[in-house]
């Protein structure tokens, strides 16, 4: 079984701790998703852990718009924040602006 270059790099960064030292997430971060009401399929979210957003470790908040024809959520806006509290507060504001 052969591994791809990306899989090998992920393994090295995870095992050596190099990824955390550089500020890169070596696994999928945890998210919190919310819908404002049952009649709206759109969701807003924020990350619980810092991720690499535009080259910097940040908490991210954003909005997903539901496309009925495709039956999928498409990210329409994502913003990075230095503090988790700011990401949580901004997530709902982004959702209101998207409506």
What is the DSSP track for 53-77?
ETTEEEEEEEEEEEETTTTEEEEEE
> Residue 12 in contact with residue 18, Cβ under 8 Å?
yes
Instruction: Determine the average pLDDT of the residues in 15-44.
Output: 67
Question: What was the pLDDT predicted at 17?
Answer: 55
* Distance between CA atoms of residues 50 and 58, nearest Å: 5
pLDDT on residue 76: 85
Q: Is residue 48 assigned to a domain?
A: yes
In a domain, 55, yes or no: yes
Number of domains in the chain: 1
Q: Is residue 6 part of a domain?
A: no
Average pLDDT on 64-76 reads 80
Across the range 71-90, mean pLDDT stands at 86
pTM greater than 0.85 (yes/no) = no
Residue 46 is predicted with a pLDDT of: 83
83 domain-assigned: yes
For residue 47, is it within any domain?
yes
Residue 10 lies in a domain: no
Residue 7 falls inside a structural domain: no
pLDDT, position 24: 58
Domain range enclosing 86 = 28-98
Confirm whether 67 is domain-assigned. yes
């Amino acid at each position: 079984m052969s591994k791809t270059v990306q899989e090998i790099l992920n393994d090295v960064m995870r095992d050596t701790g190099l990824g955390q030292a550089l500020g890169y997430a070596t696994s999928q971060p945890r998210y919190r998703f919310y819908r404002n009401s049952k009649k709206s399929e759109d969701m807003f979210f924020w990350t619980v852990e810092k991720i690499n957003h535009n080259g910097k470790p940040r908490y991210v908040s954003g909005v997903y718009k539901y496309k009925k024809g495709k039956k999928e959520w498409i990210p329409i806006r994502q913003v990075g924040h230095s503090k988790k509290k700011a990401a949580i507060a901004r997530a709902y504001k982004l959702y209101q602006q998207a409506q």
